[in-house]
Structure 1
Amino acid sequence: MPFPRASGILLHPTSFPSQFGIGDFGSEAYRFVDFLVESRQKLWQILPLGPAGDSNSPYASYSAMAGNPLLISPGLLQKKSLLTKENFDNLPKFSSETVDFSRVIQTKTLMLQKACFNFKASATSFQQQEFSEFCQSQAYWLDDYALFMALKDVHGGAGWNAWEPAIAHRQPEAIQLGQQQLAEEIFYHKYLQFEFFNQWSQLKRYANQRGIKIIGDIAIYVAQDSADVWANPKNFCLEEQTGEPALMAGTPPDYFSATGQLWGNPVYNWAHLEQEDFKWWVQRFQAMLNYVDLIRIDHFRGFHAYWAVKQGETTANSGKWVLAPGEAFFQVLQEKFGQLPIIAEDLGEVTPEVYALRDRFEFPGMKILQFAFGGGLQAEKRFLPFNYQSNCVVYTGTHDNDTTVGWFNQLLPQEREEVWRYLGCTSQLGIHWDLIRLALSSVANQAIIPLQDVLGLGTEARMNFPGKDEGNWGWRYHQGDLTPGISDRLRTMTETYGRATISQKSRVSKGGNNEFI
């Protein structure tokens, strides 16, 4: 569905400043929302919020519906008397620039375990009722997830298909025994989800009440080692005996990769899903819409046709395209939820049929300004603003791109000249503000800017290097980076290019920010 003209910031909550080594839903999250309001932004885009696996990637989660416990704020737990000041004594000295995930997990796990112990010991009757109601309302995914995580803990983190066959294949007696023997561990994981959703719901309510809508991100595929695959094996193409993917997801060879990309996720058994009226997917969207306002679908083209590679292959070369029932699927979602607040990630090699599926349901696609410039096939003129239609979302770059400053610094001299020719000038404020202005001034209904670009940061602030196994997802900004000057500049541009509502607009004082236009 087309959305009103607006703009916003791309920032994952792990990037907030915090004394605990990773961003969370505490005070800095609320300060960021205040920054959005002051800057006349109306959108906040995040990455998937699920519990990340060993890679720390939010796109490789142990659950498509659960939340990441590392985002729970110990400060807010202290306000509920579930932690004390003494629990914060002797905290490690964490880096303020990046997340050390192993140390964060070790430190926060101890605090979360203590909070759970205190909750069990001292929760009021009202809190107990809240917890019970949460567990009942979310039972359709929470029961399987909590048992899955408890089993994973007792198996030393091993993937579910390495567990004893009885529990790996979910034999009823084994499930019942696991529920009995791991009752305390199951309670702990349910409690973490209760606190996660309480804190996130309060933050989202704070944002919504101030005119900020949140764009969530949904990865089309789920991790093989996840509660989703373990609890719903018929939804996926798995080898019956081993539980390994019989068909793996990926992308075919192209200009950028002679062997393609082999992701390893199991592809969906779409025939089975369609027979069940896409029940699991409907539940997944319902869970998402419980805590975000709009949803960006990653790898949208996979809903028309997906690249499937047989188990045992080491590259994606031998895969093949298989049609998916995308139109039937989105029709069911539309019948369940009405107009779908979906943004389609339609980047890469996309066919006319994929665009037709996108347009059939009026989903806005994505435009990346960095992709419009540079040499070779990377420069695609469809990403230049004069080629846009209004029903799209423009980005300077995404979490998978370099920052705008880092990108520009790596261009060849003649490629930089191409950028200047298009802009019609050389930069006075920095290339990041030039591209921000280009995005905001375009006809795209929505413009999203990574916070790194608003701050004018270089490659050191990049969030993800696709294809790189380590060193991703850790960037954090410093407390105090969101200055009034930056807010004023962003607000002025936002108002100038018609992306602030009348009620949001503020008068630019004489001698104020006109020089920023």
Structure 2
Amino acid sequence: MAPAPRPRASGVLLHVTSLPSAYGIGDMGSAAREFVDFLHASGQRWWQILPLNPTEAVMGSSPYSSPSLFAGNPLLISPEALAAEGWLRLADLGGPAPDGGDRVDFEAVQAHREALLALAFERARPRLGAHQGFARFVATHGPAWLDDYACFTVLKARQGGAPWTAWPEALRRREPGALAALRRDEAPALDAVRFTQYLFFSQWAALRRHCAARGVGIIGDLPFYPCLDSADVWAHPHCFQLDPELRPTVVAGVPPDYFSATGQLWGNPVYDWEAQAKDGYSWWLSRLGHNLAWADLVRLDHFRALAAYWVVPPHEATAQGGWWVPGPGAEFLRAARARFPELPLLAEDLGLITDDVIALREDFGLPGMRVLQFGLGPDAGESTNALHNHCRASVAYTGTHDNNTSLGWFLDELGDAGRAALADYLGHMPARDDAAWAMVRLALMSPARLAVLPAQDLLGLDSRARMNTPAVPSGNWAWRLGPRDLTPALAQRLRHLCRLYGRA
């Protein structure tokens, strides 16, 4: 007897920063719980987020460019929850806060949040030594990543924000004496970093419990590469292709594609897979396990790099002068499956996908991504992203965080010929006000077991609500929901379609 098919489901893509709040940025407080309640009311089983790692203004506040692949973003810590938990007083929250409008001012938010967290640490410091939860957190995460991240953060502040590659030699090389002196001289500052991370993970655990109570799972996001100026590369240089002076011999990117005619030059150091294979990919598997501990399913960004990855000489101006290098492929995924037998990964298989990438994903039973915006053009008949070519073992999207909103795509990118092709596919020309929901309906009727809908498409928003434009270094990641956008009528409309297409 054939096994019963897994149930169809759907979810919403919305990063935590995009939630409404009174403190200038979405956080893990009451608005996050209200959003989970909306998901439950609208028949959704999944909430997909972007990476939760710290962001930096100098990197455009991108969640994919972080000083740590393990740490949580302090900007997501809820001030109201800090007061409810007793770390702050309500009066502490009454001062000037960043504007709570529809765009995040990351620099203003960072200054505000750092001041509150510093105050919370000063209030907590006398009792931290006896705080069992904090002690357990440090004992669990300290040896794995927390101590390195705390040292990196404090050293970077001491060095005036300079990248670790410009630090004094003893610190660049992590000489034991230099690190011992740091731990002796900067103990309070190191504890402040550890305490902030404890607050983040405590609030995230509480939000996860609320999700579980509402039957909502989290789809996390695992960036493929770290930044060069990160605790990860500083603490584990042997995992990367660096020269004897700890400089990258090649950097990461992708060749010319849908998003950029010159490719995307990311500049991240690339992995030394041969060196990592010698210890069974222990560092990579530790970060995979870390991400699986804070999500139910993890989207593996840039999955195609496991088959082959694009490298570029470090001084090139664009990614065009690069070449392909074979990745670790099946050997790595076998090691991952041995550690995590269910392998709850979603493969981001967008861009230039070759037969070896498809074979690798299929051999390990990983669902891939099917993006309708990529499939509804003149070549829809053959496109794997077109609705009729979706397979059950995939996840259907109207668009991703890198796409325009569906309405913005319809108005600004398709052109007359593209809109005519879309109308031919749909059997009618959607009106402006119905274009986004026409795409939502297609995603929900997809054969794919899971459909994920960007919140902007549920609201029918145009390109002003776009989350990210690849290869554009500024002005991204800042869009936010309004406090009254997610209405009961919207929940009812979405739930009706999910019932109609067997996803509720």
1:77 aligns with 2:82: yes
Query: Which deviations, in whole Å up to 9, do the C-alpha atoms of 1:263-314 show, x marking residues without a partner?
Result: 1100000001000100001100111011100010111100011111222222
- State how far apart, in whole Å, the 1-side matches of 2:341 and 2:258 are: 39
> How far does residue 3 in structure 1 lie from its aligned partner after superposition?
5.8
Matches within 5 A, 1:59-138: 59-122=64-127, 125=130, 128-138=131-141
> How far does residue 157 in structure 1 lie from its aligned partner after superposition?
1.5
Instruction: Pick one of 392, 403, 406 that aligns with 1:404.
Output: 406
| Other-structure match for 1:57 | 62
Instruction: Pick one of 279, 284, 297 that aligns with 1:281.
Output: 284
Instruction: Pick one of 199, 224, 242 that aligns with 1:238.
Output: 242
Report if the CA contact (8 A) 1:327-1:357 is conserved: yes
Residue 382 of structure 1 aligns to a residue whose secondary structure is coil
Residue 430 of structure 1 aligns to a residue whose secondary structure is helix
1:146 aligns with 2:160: no
TM-score by length of 1: 0.93
Amino acid across the alignment from 1:446: L
Instruction: Pick one of 347, 351, 354 that aligns with 2:354.
Output: 351
| Other-structure match for 1:5 | 8
Seen in structure 2, the aligned counterparts of structure 1 residues 255 and 211 have a Cα distance that, compared at 3 Å, is closer
- State how far apart, in whole Å, the 2-side matches of 1:321 and 1:378 are: 29
Seen in structure 2, the aligned counterparts of structure 1 residues 28 and 254 have a Cα distance that, compared at 3 Å, is closer
- State how far apart, in whole Å, the 2-side matches of 1:17 and 1:378 are: 37
**Unaligned runs of at least 5 residues, structure 2:** none
Matches within 5 A, 1:248-259: 248-253=251-256, 257-259=260-262
Amino acid across the alignment from 1:392: S
- State how far apart, in whole Å, the 2-side matches of 1:199 and 1:215 are: 17
Report if the CA contact (8 A) 2:252-2:267 is conserved: yes
Instruction: Pick one of 448, 451, 456 that aligns with 2:455.
Output: 451
CA RMSD of aligned residues (A): 1.7
Instruction: Pick one of 176, 179, 183 that aligns with 1:175.
Output: 179
Seen in structure 2, the aligned counterparts of structure 1 residues 114 and 297 have a Cα distance that, compared at 3 Å, is same
TM-score by length of 2: 0.95
Aligned residues: 495
> How far does residue 414 in structure 1 lie from its aligned partner after superposition?
2.5
Report if the CA contact (8 A) 2:77-2:199 is conserved: yes
> How far does residue 422 in structure 1 lie from its aligned partner after superposition?
1.2
Seen in structure 2, the aligned counterparts of structure 1 residues 256 and 130 have a Cα distance that, compared at 3 Å, is closer
Report if the CA contact (8 A) 2:407-2:435 is conserved: yes
Seen in structure 2, the aligned counterparts of structure 1 residues 81 and 257 have a Cα distance that, compared at 3 Å, is closer
> How far does residue 209 in structure 1 lie from its aligned partner after superposition?
2.1
User: How much identity, in percent, do the aligned residues show?
Assistant: 45
1:479 aligns with 2:469: no
- State how far apart, in whole Å, the 2-side matches of 1:271 and 1:30 are: 44
| Other-structure match for 1:44 | 47
Instruction: Pick one of 389, 392, 397 that aligns with 1:390.
Output: 392
> How far does residue 253 in structure 1 lie from its aligned partner after superposition?
3.7
| Other-structure match for 2:228 | 224
- State how far apart, in whole Å, the 2-side matches of 1:285 and 1:378 are: 35
| Other-structure match for 1:420 | 423
Amino acid across the alignment from 2:404: D
Seen in structure 2, the aligned counterparts of structure 1 residues 254 and 369 have a Cα distance that, compared at 3 Å, is closer
- State how far apart, in whole Å, the 2-side matches of 1:142 and 1:152 are: 15
Seen in structure 2, the aligned counterparts of structure 1 residues 284 and 93 have a Cα distance that, compared at 3 Å, is closer
> How far does residue 246 in structure 1 lie from its aligned partner after superposition?
1.2
- State how far apart, in whole Å, the 2-side matches of 1:93 and 1:298 are: 32
Seen in structure 2, the aligned counterparts of structure 1 residues 48 and 3 have a Cα distance that, compared at 3 Å, is farther
Report if the CA contact (8 A) 2:311-2:325 is conserved: yes
- State how far apart, in whole Å, the 2-side matches of 1:403 and 1:482 are: 17
Amino acid across the alignment from 1:344: A
> How far does residue 438 in structure 1 lie from its aligned partner after superposition?
0.5
> How far does residue 156 in structure 1 lie from its aligned partner after superposition?
1.7
> How far does residue 380 in structure 1 lie from its aligned partner after superposition?
6.7
Instruction: Pick one of 299, 302, 325 that aligns with 1:296.
Output: 299
Seen in structure 2, the aligned counterparts of structure 1 residues 257 and 200 have a Cα distance that, compared at 3 Å, is closer
Amino acid across the alignment from 1:405: L
> How far does residue 43 in structure 1 lie from its aligned partner after superposition?
0.5
Seen in structure 2, the aligned counterparts of structure 1 residues 184 and 378 have a Cα distance that, compared at 3 Å, is farther
> How far does residue 160 in structure 1 lie from its aligned partner after superposition?
0.6
Larger deviation: 397-406 or 246-255? 246-255
**Unaligned runs of at least 5 residues, structure 1:** 501-517
